[in-house]
Amino acid sequence: MSFLDISHLEKAFGTNRVVKDFSLSVEKGEFISLLGPSGCGKTTVLRMVAGFEQPNSGAITIGGSNVVGKRPNQRNIGMVFQAYALFPNLTVAENVGFGLKIKGASKAEITARVQEMLALIGLPDKGASYPFQLSGGQQQRVALARALAPKPQVLLLDEPLSALDAKVRVSLRNEIRAIQRELGITTIFVTHDQEEALSISDRIVVMNGGIADQVGTPFEIYNRPSTRFVANFVGQLNVFRADEAGRIGGVSMGQGDFAARPEAVHLGRASGADIVLPATVTEVHFLGSVIRLTADVAGTRVSLDTFNRADAPPPEVGAVVELSLAARDLIQLGA
Amino acid sequence: MSLWARITGWIVLIFGLTYFALPLLGLTEFSLKARRGVYSLDAYTKIIGDPEFQATFTYSIMMALVTILFGVLLVVPTAYWVRLKMPWARPYVEFITLLPLVIPAIVIVFGYIRLYNTSSWLPMTGTIMGTNLLLAFGYTVLALPYMYRAVDTGMRTIDVATLTEAAQSLGAGWATILARVILPNVIPAVLSGAFLTFAIVIGEFTLAALLNRPAFGPYLARIGANKPYEPFALSVIAFGITWGCMGLIQFANRLSKHTKAAQ
Ligand SMILES: Nc1ncnc2c1ncn2[C@@H]1O[C@H](COP(=O)(O)OP(=O)(O)OP(=O)(O)O)[C@@H](O)[C@H]1O
Ligand SMILES: [Mg+2]
């Protein structure tokens, strides 16, 4: 049995079934992301693990013991909220030491642990500051330190980066991941940002309407999406209807629709590409190392990425080009 | 601001001043006239030297402190729980806390006397301690509208639900959460409520008189009926206390450095 085990979890608010038969096994030290659109039940799953909501049925075990029915303050779980939720009346050091104080740790113990945590989050001399004196990113790091200080069994983060601006978001997510690796703490991270989930997770759970659609590594989720929803939600996708695929590419691959990632479509005839499509360039976005083109293929909009090369300028808008892709790069979507 | 708005503002201000300040000035002036022909503090020294003044004033201050304690213990957990778990009950609780404003104190005290007299199931008026307690409960009820409103408003400035959950996940139980997380963050509001309570209790007449306790209010009434200058000196003192409380409320609101975060 894995360290954190969620099985057949059900939750309804009134008649609104929010989480449906949700199961997940998390190994010790694993970093799992719950990814899905707004309202799909990510927070609700997390809150049931934390003990703030009671499931209608199902089991949650941590380290082999069932926690359903236990109060949140008996679960030894660290939680980080989107809104930081630092105690405004306490200094940073008092915030970080709060959990230890409640556990009855000695003053010396608390001081030492608080210093250790503040060093870990890179704010060693902010101990005496009040939360309102810190930036959003700093506050969230303090919240992380506060959650980690009492050495919880599991760390839960509910969209901890959503309130921050883009630059801080990227640097802080890497920092969170580094700290999580260093401490080896089992972590569930909720986000609706697919790039965030792809970049820092060991495994991702893609949720849709209260159901875990697919569970897998970022590589699996991105390259072998098992449902149309996952394929569409994670990453960019060019979708061809089955009949279209046959008509424009001269391929016939059975039932259902096909999809191709932008990076699977090549400009010109690439070696190994067995499908060639005539196309007209409609948009050119120069992003630096990558150039993203949009082209019209017999009425279907196709996006593709090519690497920038100093000796080959990108095509102009309106240029007639050939696109190619390999049939094995096509993702078959359920009908 | 346009010229007209400015002129209107001034007119209102002058009207207010004549309405409030002039009587107060007259009052103060008269209270200084105890010695014929010259201004003096005779009335004040007489009052402050009066042992009955000292006894009743001390009594009322003690009662005010006890009332504030009761009020805080009653209102902070209630307002917290309503915000956290029963938001649907807020209008009802607000209505109940407003009742003391529409139900006269005399009705409350007759109810008390009827329920808790010496021949009742709980003869609280039988002992001095019991009567004091009853009086403090009565004061708590009278101060409820102000205390509840102040505390409830204070709680609006913090994210009660998330702070509670953060504390819970760190292992805190309800008592710890209330004492270490919620209360410290609504201290300015609690102090506002406390000073209002103080002002109410110091001047309250009905409850104390009918329960026959030696409070400042009945003393004030008795002096007012029997002495020429002293009542005016007392009124000035009472004004001073009330205004002092209002000043302290302002001060309390500026006091806490951390509440700036909420703004
Ligand atoms: N306490 C509650 N009472 C009633 N309905 C609720 C409650 N909490 C959540 N819901 C409903 O459950 C559904 C899932 O909510 P949840 O917060 O889990 O979504 P989410 O995936 O976290 O979304 P987001 O990305 O917007 O945070 C929503 O439709 C929401 O309205
Ligand atoms: Mg959510």
B171–chain A Cβ distance below 8 A for any pair: yes
Residues of B in contact with A89 (CB under 8 A): 181, 184-185, 187, 256, 258
pLDDT for the residue A250:
58
Does the pTM surpass 0.90? The reply is no
**Between residues A247 and A11, the one the model is more confident about:** A11
Q: Where are the domains of chain B?
A: 39-257
pLDDT of A104 higher than 50: yes
CATH topology for A4-233 is Rossmann fold (3.40.50)
User: Does residue A43 line the site of ligand 1, with CB under 6 A?
Assistant: yes
Residue in chain B nearest A47 by alpha carbon = B165
Q: Are A317 and A283 in contact (CB under 8 A)?
A: yes
User: Does residue A38 line the site of ligand 1, with CB under 6 A?
Assistant: yes
Of B186, B183, B184, B215, give the one whose Cα is nearest residue B200: B215
User: Does residue A18 line the site of ligand 1, with CB under 6 A?
Assistant: yes
Of all residues in chain A, what percent carry a pLDDT higher than 70?
A: 95
- State the pLDDT confidence band at B263, using cuts at 50, 70 and 90: very low
| B260 contacts A79? CB cut-off 8 A | no
Query: DSSP E strands: which ranges in chain A?
Result: 4-13, 16-26, 31-35, 57-62, 65-66, 77-80, 154-158, 186-191, 203-208, 211-216, 238-240, 257-260, 266-267, 275-286, 290-297, 300-307, 320-325, 331-333
- Nearest residue, CB atoms, A89 vs list B171, B176, B185: B185
Residue in chain A nearest B187 by alpha carbon = A89
pLDDT for the residue B123:
83
Q: Where are the domains of chain A?
A: 4-233, 239-332
User: Does residue A210 line the site of ligand 1, with CB under 6 A?
Assistant: no
Q: Which tens digit of pLDDT belongs to each residue from A62-76? A: 999 999 999 999 999
**Between residues B131 and A236, the one the model is more confident about:** B131
Of all residues in chain A, what percent carry a pLDDT higher than 90?
A: 67
| A73 contacts B168? CB cut-off 8 A | yes
pLDDT for the residue B1:
65
| B258 contacts A132? CB cut-off 8 A | yes
Q: How many CA atoms lie within 13 A of A103 on its CB side?
A: 19
- Residue in A40, A52, A162 to alter for ligand 1 test, most ligand atoms within 8 A of Cβ: A40
Q: Are B76 and B144 in contact (CB under 8 A)?
A: no
| Cα-to-centroid distance, A188 and ligand 2 (Å) | 13
Q: Are A143 and A163 in contact (CB under 8 A)?
A: no
| A88 contacts B185? CB cut-off 8 A | yes
Q: Which tens digit of pLDDT belongs to each residue from B17-38? A: 888 888 888 888 888 887 888 8
pLDDT of B256 higher than 70: no
Number of the ligand 1 atom closest to the C-alpha atom of A207: 21
User: Does residue A54 line the site of ligand 1, with CB under 6 A?
Assistant: no
pLDDT of B95 higher than 80: yes
ipTM: 0.85
d(CA A261, CA A153) in angstroms, rounded, equals 38
Residue in chain A nearest B164 by alpha carbon = A85
pLDDT of B75 higher than 60: yes
Of B181, B166, B259, give the one whose Cα is nearest residue A145: B166
State mean pLDDT over A92-120.
Answer: 95
H or E segment to which residue B139 belongs:
helix B128-156
State mean pLDDT over A322-331.
Answer: 85
Question: Which residue's alpha carbon is nearest to atom 22 within ligand 1?
Answer: A43
Mean per-residue pLDDT of chain A: 90
Q: Are A264 and A329 in contact (CB under 8 A)?
A: yes
Q: Which CATH class is domain B39-257?
A: mainly alpha
Q: Which tens digit of pLDDT belongs to each residue from A293-314? A: 999 888 888 899 888 888 888 8
d(CA A184, CA A27) in angstroms, rounded, equals 11
Q: How many CA atoms lie within 13 A of B199 on its CB side?
A: 20
pLDDT for the residue A335:
46
Structure tokens at B101: 């404003």
Q: How many CA atoms lie within 13 A of A73 on its CB side?
A: 18
Q: Which tens digit of pLDDT belongs to each residue from B163-173? A: 999 999 999 99
pLDDT of B261 higher than 60: no
CATH of A239-332, one of 1.10.10.10, 3.20.20.70, 2.40.50.100, 2.60.40.1730: 2.40.50.100
pLDDT of A254 higher than 80: no
Q: Which tens digit of pLDDT belongs to each residue from A274-297? A: 888 888 999 999 888 889 899 988
Of all residues in chain B, what percent carry a pLDDT higher than 90?
A: 49
d(CA A184, CA A28) in angstroms, rounded, equals 8
Instruction: Work out whether strand A203-208 and strand A186-191 pair parallel, antiparallel, or are unpaired.
Output: unpaired
A43, A44, A87: best to mutate for the B interface, most B CBs within 10 A:
A87
- Residue in A42, A45, A54 to alter for ligand 1 test, most ligand atoms within 8 A of Cβ: A42
Q: Are B233 and B37 in contact (CB under 8 A)?
A: no
B178–chain A Cβ distance below 8 A for any pair: no
State mean pLDDT over B190-215.
Answer: 90
pLDDT of A255 higher than 50: yes
d(CA A52, CA A31) in angstroms, rounded, equals 21
User: Does residue A39 line the site of ligand 1, with CB under 6 A?
Assistant: yes
State mean pLDDT over B221-230.
Answer: 83
pLDDT for the residue A213:
92
